[in-house]
A = this chain, B = another copy of it.
């Protein structure tokens, strides 16, 4: 057996949602185990959560700073190999920077940080320390997303002309936050969520999905943001027109007020030679159609699906895989890279089958440009990312 890595977690205690998802994602492949945690911003709740998860008392920390100090005091052979940051967005920056600077690899939830300046600093910190840094744009972990990207790279779509990407939810169609729902509360609070609401929470997933599959780079965008629910302080809906380098055009819409929708993330890409269409809620099939050919439906582990998807799948065809497995693929990629680094591989030699700090930085830049366009009245705004 390759030795299991160990990791700590910041956030994700009692009452949180995404922390448990991260832990299941790691558990699935058994390549790392949770040994330390600063699981809540409230020390008591942090410790209670650590007990729930069976952490040793001496690695149950009251804050991320205690955890960083505590782990650094341990011999490096008995120190966490990486930290998972699953807190609301506003704390990502200082936590991630501190761990990265201290030489501990990081897996961080998205959006990465609040500002491009923070993102730049983080990119530099990572470059300097050489740690592995993954951002959990989890939808990029789906096998058929990887296959879609490989079809694009193989030229099966020709030159891309049009991209339609959507992420539509309905759970914030009413002012849930005023009733104290925890998930709604921080996501609609600018102090914790950042400059954008829906755009930051789900629009960035859409941005990342386009980049992952197509590799297209934005040139400019025109964003119309709306806050439909009275009293809400951030956008809960966005419609964005995008122009890409090379002439392709895109439409990105995201909304949290589309009643009846759950996590309806979908992408369609049309090129001169073919098209693809994929939908997150039914992730085990991918539609592909060559320009003058018959419609084809790739199934996750079925005929014609290449090694990129193959490496990201755990079950035979027809045994559906879903969200957790995609999430686990991000972790597996990061853990493999961390293990390789530990075993002496050079950073440039590391496999990067996961979104990196640079992807995270580009997401932050995207949010900023969208907010800027909207603030000026939904006008065309430069969106080139040179980070």
Of B4, B20, B222, B297, the residue contacting A378 (CB under 8 A) is B222
- 9 tightest CB-CB pairs across the interface, nearest first? A262-B318, A263-B318, A260-B289, A320-B322, A322-B322, A295-B297, A262-B317, A260-B275, A319-B323
* A side interface size, CB within 8 A: 88
A237 at the interface (CB under 8 A from B): yes
Of B52, B297, B377, the residue contacting A1 (CB under 8 A) is B52
Q: Can you tell how many copies of this chain the complex includes? A: 4
| Known interface pairs A239-B249, A261-B270, A315-B324; 11 further A-B residue pairs with C-beta atoms within 8 A, sorted by A's residue number | A23-B30, A27-B27, A162-B255, A222-B224, A224-B249, A258-B268, A259-B274, A263-B318, A294-B303, A319-B322, A324-B325
Distance of A226 Cα from B259 Cα, bound (Å): 32
Q: Please name all residues of chain B whose beta carbon is closer than 8 Å to the beta carbon of A54 when the two chains form the complex.
A: 1, 4
A170 at the interface (CB under 8 A from B): yes
Q: Please name all residues of chain B whose beta carbon is closer than 8 Å to the beta carbon of A180 when the two chains form the complex.
A: none
Of the stretches A36-44, A78-86, A128-136, A276-284, the one at the interface is A276-284
Distance of A274 Cα from B259 Cα, bound (Å): 6
Distance of A306 Cα from B366 Cα, bound (Å): 40
Distance of A239 Cα from B378 Cα, bound (Å): 14
A173 at the interface (CB under 8 A from B): yes
A182 at the interface (CB under 8 A from B): no
Q: Which residue in chain B gives the minimum CB-CB distance to A253?
A: B251
The B-contacting residues of A in range 340-355, CB under 8 angstroms, are: none
A124 at the interface (CB under 8 A from B): no
Question: Contacts A30-B23, A322-B321, A378-B380; is A259 near B241 (CB within 8 Å)?
Answer: no
A271 at the interface (CB under 8 A from B): yes
In contact, B275 and A270 (Cβ under 8 angstroms): no
Q: Please name all residues of chain B whose beta carbon is closer than 8 Å to the beta carbon of A241 when the two chains form the complex.
A: 222, 224, 239, 241, 378
Question: Contacts A52-B1, A320-B323; is A239 near B259 (CB within 8 Å)?
Answer: no
Of B1, B173, B284, the residue contacting A291 (CB under 8 A) is B173
